[in-house]
Amino acid sequence: MPDVIVDCAIYREGRRNECATDFSDALHAARAEGHSFLWLGIHEPTEEEFALVRSEFALHPLAVEDALKAHQRPKLEVYDDSLFMVLKPVTYDDRADTVTASELMVFVGDSFVVTVRHGEASPLTAVRHRLEEHPEILRHGPGAVLYAVSDAVVDHYIEVAAELQVDLEELEAEVFAPVRGQDTRNTAAEIYAFKREVLEFRRATGPLAEPMARLQNPGVPFVHDHARPFFRDVEDHLTRANESVEGLDRLLSDILAAHLAQMGVRQNDDMRKISSWAALAAVPTLIAGIYGMNFHDMPELQWHLGYPVILGLMVVIEVSLYRLFKRRGWL
């Protein structure tokens, strides 16, 4: 088997059977038996490596192009011989505060499932093993695999949303109750960066709602009727994830608005302090400047007590202004 093929197995009555030779023979065997299907897992294939898969499974060229190029929105497309679904699994790096989305394409057709992964955020080994522990679900055919993969991706959305919520609460505390001496000049940049990560998360969860609703429709082929109720459960979890993402986005907007308002208040406080100190400096400067002109017709210059009186006047005015500004909270 090519190196890009991660796993290949035939499922008979919900039980795993290894592919004895290559996947072409396994596919023919599954179709001949009628009650079996083949699950082929592939990771980041090239066009040449995927050519045999495309021809053997008769995959639609447009779906193949999307599967190879990736960078697709979550969607569900129905072709004559197969279903094609795009999922975007996400991971959250708590240290770097980044949301990373990979891509997972699922082809579902007559007696086969082909999963194509791009990126490292969507390993399916655990999903396959967990599903193999429930042969009663696998008996529903390829649609059961589509359900299990979708369920795993959506459940992880909820986990990522919870991790984002924890970090958002820390950011909220930083904005509304900053630690003494903490530099908050980059807080706005942190909020914007966090908002970008939430937007990346939203691109993965939002568009998936419509495909999940369609998979419950009896008009969608290659999904067993007994498997359709499972997609309703996935849709419920997806709704929770979308509500969490929307809540995070709204709260981030509120935090940003509050932070900008706080910055405006702090700037006003700074301007009042600067103005107060400028006023304190202006009074003695004005008095000293007047009497520093040394005109002959200034009677106070010949007054014996002029110097101490002027100094005392400066002190009285300065103390009065200082107490006034202090009482009003300007200093």
Domain boundaries, the chain: 5-261, 263-327
Q: Check residue 97 and give left, alpha or beta (phi > 0: left; psi -120 to 50: alpha).
A: left
Q: Which residue has the tokens 């975007």?
A: 88
* 299 vs 138, residue with greater confidence: 138
Angle at 242 between CA 138 and CA 258, to 5 degrees: 155
CATH label, 5-261, candidates 1.10.760.10, 3.20.20.300, 3.30.460.20, 2.130.10.10: 3.30.460.20
Structure tokens at 303: 């007054």
The arrangement of strands across the sheet holding 82-87 comes to 15-18, 5-12, 36-43, 112-118, 103-109, 82-87, 75-78
pLDDT tens string 278-312: 878 887 888 777 777 766 777 766 777 777 877 88
Q: Identify the CATH number of the domain defined by range 263-327.
A: 1.20.58.340
* 275 vs 110, residue with greater confidence: 110
Q: Using CA atoms, how far apart are residues 262 and 177, in angstroms rounded to an integer?
A: 11
pLDDT tens string 59-79: 999 999 999 988 889 999 999
DSSP-assigned states of every residue in 150-181: HHHHHHHHHHHHHHHHHHHHHHHHHHHSPPTT
Q: Using CA atoms, how far apart are residues 36 and 17, in angstroms rounded to an integer?
A: 10
* pLDDT reading at 156 higher than 80: yes
* 30 vs 309, residue with greater confidence: 30
Q: Can you give the pTM of this predicted structure?
A: 0.78
Q: What's the pLDDT score for residue 20? A: 64
pLDDT band at 28 (very low <50, low <70, confident <90, very high): confident
